[in-house]
Structure 1
Amino acid sequence: MPDKPIEISLNMTAKELYDTNPEYKAFQEADAQPMGVTFQGYDFPGYKEPTVIIKYPNGELSIDGVMSVLAYDDDEQANYKLSKINLGFLFNHKVSGISDENAYKKMMSFFKQLQDKGWTYAKNLSEPRLSPKDSFTFATKEGGNDFNLDYTYPLNFEQWMQLSDLQIWQLRHGTDVFMNIRINRQSDPETGNRHYLISLDVFDELELIKQGVMDKIHARD
């Protein structure tokens, strides 16, 4: 695996993505879909995952252990800008997995990194007006909703373990960049080893509008 991190910028083209990272050509993977859509990106072998640096307006993030990079590309538009990029990554590079305690420490450290870089909770206007602490209470009570979790609330380990094994965290940076973090806490049924799979979407305001439109369509259906 090359030593150089993969470099990605939100709203670069697929050609720019690949031209910027020639060392990773062997791992390129384009997945063609119906209706003139191709998912561009990379797929990496297990437990040999590289570091990815993703750049966005007024900032950048460095993510270790990235398993895959995926971005929607419209084949019918020349030089289409990749306005939504998905990174799948692990907190551990070992088959033996990771303890809940270490996963908690790594996640809280990641949240601290995001706060230091100016990321805030992306509260939707239709959501309840909750304080960061109340967002945890609401998310963990019966009938609550993980979408209301405010990542700025400093969870202790016991609270972390009260969250469901599938968590959703919504963030924004300024008014034009957004991030959804999906955490999937799993146990290997044969070994009992714990694994934390993270899916991170970084996208622009246009993608946010598209999501809102699709949510309304699905609600009518």
Structure 2
Amino acid sequence: MSDVSGMTEIERIAAGETADGGAVLELRNVSRSFEDAGGTLTVLQGVNLSLMPGQVTALVGPSGAGKSTLLHIAGLLEAPTGGEVLFQGQDCGDASDWERTLIRRDGIGFVYQFHHLLPEFSALENVMMPQLIAGLSRREAKERARQLLNLVGLEERETHRPAKLSGGEQQRVAIVRSIANVPAVLLADEPTGNLDPHTAEEVFRQLRRIISATRIAALIATHNHELARAMDRVVELRDGTLHEIK
């Protein structure tokens, strides 16, 4: 579906939601610690990060450094011990569980190392699902799902269930499903970690294409330093603090 300016519906909606050009998601002086039998374990301390529309930020760091914890806090899945998380300028610290759920549903897309597609549904139906949950009509959801699958070259695979798709195809479906509701932010945790290098490169290329088309702000945790260097910005988490390295 396109309007008279040539923009797709996905691009048009995204452009409206990020028109002010400001930071979409901000972490301000965020800390996170856990109590266990051995005392206090500090995972994050004084983390500051701003995600801008259309910018792809790589999050790197050794295993166990806290990358997943940082993503969970950014995605409002986990509360920080201290500091603030702002989504589109609004402090989420006092948001109710229901308000945080709505922000995640409508404003934040998630992609994980494993695709987590629903096995009994086709690729098209998997991409339709979050839209139906958000209240779109079946016709609208199908139209947008087809548009997204076309965007990543899967128009001829829309009727296939996940088991009939390759690993790279499964992950591309997972990526477009994550942006089906046109979120302002995409958070990805090792989205190419289960793929061979060639397929990982292709999936990342498609991901960059989607981000370019929609102007989503993206934070991608990865151990693949070659892919990280291809992103707009690289931040490294070490010893609980975040360091800009590109």
TM-score scaled by length of structure 1: 0.31
- Asked which structure has the greater RCO (Cα within 8 Å, sep 6+), the reply is 2
Give the number of the structure whose residues are more often strand, by fraction: 1
Give the number of the structure whose residues are more often helix, by fraction: 2
TM-score scaled by length of structure 2: 0.29
